[in-house]
Amino acid sequence: MSDQSQQGATVPNPVIPGFHPDPSVCRAGDDYYLVCSSFEYFPGIPVFHSRDLVNWTQIGNALDRTSQLHLPRGMSSSAGIYAPTLRHHDDRFWLIVTNVSDSGNMLFTATDPAGPWSDPVRLPGVPGIDPDLAWDEDGTCWCTVAGVSQVRIDPHTGETFSEPHSLWSGTPGALAPEAPHLYRIGGYWYLLIAEGGTERGHGVSIARGRTPSGPFEPCPANPILTHRGTPRPIQNTGHADLVQAPDGSWWMVLLGVRPRGGTPGWHVLGRETFLAPVEWVDGWPVVGDLSPELPTPAWPLHPGPTAPVRDDFDHAELHPRWISLRERPERLCTTKEPSGWLTLRAAGASLDDNDVVFVGRRQQHLACRARTLIDPADGRGGLAVRLDEEHHYEIEAGAGEVTVYARIGSLRAEVASRPLPEGAVVLGVEIAPPRDARTGPDALSFGFEEPDGTFTTLAVLDGRHLSTEVAGGFTGRVIGMYAATGTAHFDWFDYEPLPHS
């Protein structure tokens, strides 16, 4: 697209929709790379590439081996992998992150962000969560963590030098100073943090100092970004990172949510990655308008490949968009037995169980349709929409019947059931706004395909119960396939965005 044709044009925001929180970004030459938190899901830390900050393509997951990522079977949802920071330094990519369920803070390196990434360098002397990396002119590496405190480290060995010392904790009285990022820009070191908690009070503040360890002077306009107390369609804005484009312009990636429905408003996709322009005024960053339509950057756009609607499981390895709960042993999940089918062997009996065998993808659209062809001849399995162990809906086939289940908090119910003809069957869910926009954020319609090709809806369920405002936690919806008993075979999975108001 030429610069002239882009004038006055806009692009959709979020730039990475769906459950992609805590974005961290870096630039290497003309290329941008971005990572997000992944919590209880394996593989961990999705890695994205872009040439224009607008169009992002997932190129892998940084933590795709058990030697890198241990998520204990008994860990709770919304634990696991928190808040990575990605940096490019000395011709290498550096990734620092917290595993709150196992190893604490860890550091990984790669020459290619698509992988492979190294096994972890442990950081036992680095406390807390949300670690950041920055190097000064003499090569000293500074690690800053939520709180906000800082310690010098050797990133090659994990050794720390001296005890952590406090820096600057944001606006006086503000809740949860976290997500620090330290930058050398001009004659100052800037310390960017999130504060106010990750709910509606979330915001971004900044301070500056002459050295990486301070003292730091707060920006008089703090918070430099927040949507708290406003009716804006994007809320919970925070956990930001800054990046400079080759043309000298500055940009901010950050998380936000899109609540819908009546009070209090429910967001169901999780915290998503948004983009906002940044100008510098009197030595301080000023964040431009953050809205669902973003003014197009001044450079040509580089749309990547369109994500396929359908996966026929014809490759030996699953695409990196597919995620599982805590682990994915090949003996329980394979596309090789038989070839061209996703075969899942049951461990946990339902989505209520921490060890359920589940393969899903993030819901990325407010309205969408997902369908899969299951052969339940050797067991039971189905199609689920999951938020956590206590909040999920599913349609399950096996033993001559198809059944819709709902788990909401401590309650589990069989919602509807029908006899099922022998053989493979298409199961589906359609997610769309409810008839009354003052009620839930959406409605989820579960059903199956009859032998004559018509689709029969068995149940329509209220989407608010699969929202963060109801369930709590830090994640978003994931739609996928699971095995309940025996072995379930899936021939294909189809995910299709739908128009929405």
pLDDT tens column, 266-290: 999 999 999 999 999 999 999 999 9
CA-CA distances (angstroms) from residue 128 to 103, 112, 145, 395? 12, 28, 6, 40
Residue ranges and CATH numbers for the domains of the chain are 3-295 (2.115.10.20), 310-497 (2.60.120.200)
Q: What's the rounded mean pLDDT across residues 286-295? A: 94
pLDDT above 80 (res 167): yes
CA pair distance 471, 355, nearest whole angstrom: 20
pTM > 0.85: yes or no: yes
Nearest to 392 by CA among 429, 424, 427, 344: 429
- Lowest mean pLDDT of 261-265, 320-324, 339-343, 360-364, name the range: 261-265
Provide the pLDDT confidence category of residue 8 given band limits of 50, 70 and 90: low
78 and 48 Cβ atoms separated by less than 8 Å: no
Q: What confidence tens digit (pLDDT) does each residue in 481-501 have?
A: 999 999 999 999 999 999 876
Beta strand pairing call for 160-166 and 217-218? unpaired
> Which residue's entry shows tokens 């996928």?
480
Q: What's the rounded mean pLDDT across residues 140-150? A: 97
Which residues are annotated as catalytic? Answer: 22, 178
| Tokens matching residue 498 | 């739908």
- Lowest mean pLDDT of 183-197, 263-277, 438-452, name the range: 438-452
pLDDT above 90 (res 421): no
- Lowest mean pLDDT of 147-156, 157-166, 201-210, 296-305, name the range: 296-305
pLDDT above 70 (res 13): yes
pLDDT above 90 (res 305): no
Q: What's the rounded mean pLDDT across residues 384-403? A: 97
* C-beta atoms surrounding 229 within 10 Å: 8
How distant is the alpha carbon of residue 163 from its chain centre?
A: 32
pLDDT of residue 309: 85
pLDDT above 90 (res 164): yes
Q: What's the rounded mean pLDDT across residues 367-377? A: 97
Provide the pLDDT confidence category of residue 7 given band limits of 50, 70 and 90: low
DSSP letter at 313 equals -
Q: What's the rounded mean pLDDT across residues 257-274? A: 95
R_g of the chain computed on alpha carbons: 23
Q: What's the rounded mean pLDDT across residues 310-337? A: 96
pLDDT above 80 (res 126): yes
pLDDT of residue 6: 55
pLDDT above 80 (res 405): yes
Q: What's the rounded mean pLDDT across residues 228-252? A: 97
pLDDT above 90 (res 469): yes
Percent of the chain with pLDDT over 90: 90
Provide the pLDDT confidence category of residue 4 given band limits of 50, 70 and 90: very low
- What does pLDDT average to over the chain? 95
pLDDT above 50 (res 2): no
